[in-house]
Amino acid sequence: IFLINKYVISEMLKTGGGSIVNTSSMYGLVGTNMSFAYSASKGAINQITRSLALSYARDNIRVNAIAPGYVDTPILAMVPDGRLGKDTEIADLICFLLSDEASFITGAIVPIDGGYTAA
């Protein structure tokens, strides 16, 4: 994530701006007893996202992240809305965040997890 952002931002500075969407996880927002290293790495993505958003906002570069929950996995009972996410729902959120319709959104970590992180 760090290297991708570094090189993409370098090119965006040359072209007048742009939008980046990093992929984190719901476990970057809440802990899990399954893997502390995974949660820590996703938390790091969230902080990189926020820091870059602040650093490059005046350069017309927006940096956000999505925090997907369970998608196409058999762990349905853990999702508050009772269903799994679809890959198209994740893609739709990314497309929105990259679009001009999201021009006032930067530094956001957007959970797309069926309510998991709200519980």
For the chain, strand residue ranges (E) read 18-23, 61-68, 109-112
Sign of the C-alpha dihedral, residues 70, 1, 119, 33? Answer: positive
User: Is 38 an active-site residue?
Assistant: yes
* Calpha distance 83→94 (Å, rounded): 20
Question: Which listed residue (7, 38, 70, 116) is catalytic?
Answer: 38
The closest of 5, 3, 36 to 19, measured between CA atoms, is: 5
Catalytic residue numbers, as ranges: 38
